[in-house]
Amino acid sequence: MRDTSSTSSTSAVQSRAVAFALTARSLGREPSVLADLEHVATLRVVLHAIDDGRPLRRLVGFDAGALPEVDDLAGRWVRWFDLGRIAPYEASNVATTVGGITPRLADIAGFYRAFGMAVPHDRPDHVVAELEFLALALLHETDALAGGDRQRLDVLGDVIRSFLRDHIGGWIDAWAARVDEVPELHPWAPFAAIAADLVANEARLRNVIPVRTDAVLAADVELDDAPVLECGAAESIGI
């Protein structure tokens, strides 16, 4: 099936890459990002450049100055995200297979390794890591578009479609909806919704129908069989 993103302009793909990166940062462990006026303003500008008005509308009414104190936000992050009550992990939001979560985590880590990316001190299926991976893959695609490298574009398109179909596309909208249901998590709700919108838009552009399973609503899964990943900074390779 034809990858419609390959006909997009370089600037359009780059805007989507930056949007994924900024949204990932918004959902990260450091809550002061939510109150960073420059960060939110930059995200608004980038979302405005995307041919999908839904993500930008999520920020209507968002007032960084009205957020709780940073210490309060940090406590909420730990209570709800760190302790697994609304776990921001793929394997915690989809039905577990007979093989447990190890095959899923290994598959995700394999995507990252192909791009020289590693996840320090956490599982590879964290929402931040998955969004950052899409940002990195789209930046590679930007470079390939600029260079007119058709073969590289085909490879990148296959990788991105597979990741959308088999991983992030199948769970992030359900997770974002759960975040929105918790009053204490309302500071993060617009950004979780933006992440789901960006993923849905990317899937639409690439004619991808994500594989979905029943969402897991209980606390985080046991981690006894989770592989340990070595820390390392993300870096690009010539895919």
Distance separating alpha carbons of residues 97 and 99, to the nearest angstrom: 5
CATH topology of domain 10-205: TorD-like (1.10.3480)
Would you write out the chain's pLDDT as a tens digit for each of its 239 residues? 444 444 478 999 999 999 999 999 999 999 999 999 999 999 999 999 998 899 999 999 999 989 999 999 999 999 999 998 999 999 999 987 767 899 999 999 999 999 999 998 899 999 999 999 999 999 999 999 999 999 999 999 999 999 999 999 999 999 999 999 999 999 999 999 999 999 999 999 999 999 987 654 444 433 333 333 333 334 333 44
Q: How far is CA 87 from the centre of its chain?
A: 14
Query: CA nearest 168: which of 1, 4, 9, 23?
Result: 23
Distance separating alpha carbons of residues 128 and 174, to the nearest angstrom: 16
N-terminal to C-terminal alpha carbon distance within the chain: 21
pLDDT tens per residue across span 138-185: 999 999 999 999 999 999 999 999 999 999 999 999 999 999 999 999
Distance separating alpha carbons of residues 209 and 213, to the nearest angstrom: 13
Q: Whole-structure pTM over 0.85, yes or no?
A: yes
* Contact (Cβ atoms closer than 8 angstroms) between residue 118 and residue 229: yes
Q: What is the Cα Rg of the chain in Å? A: 17
- Break the chain into its structural domains and give their ranges: 10-205
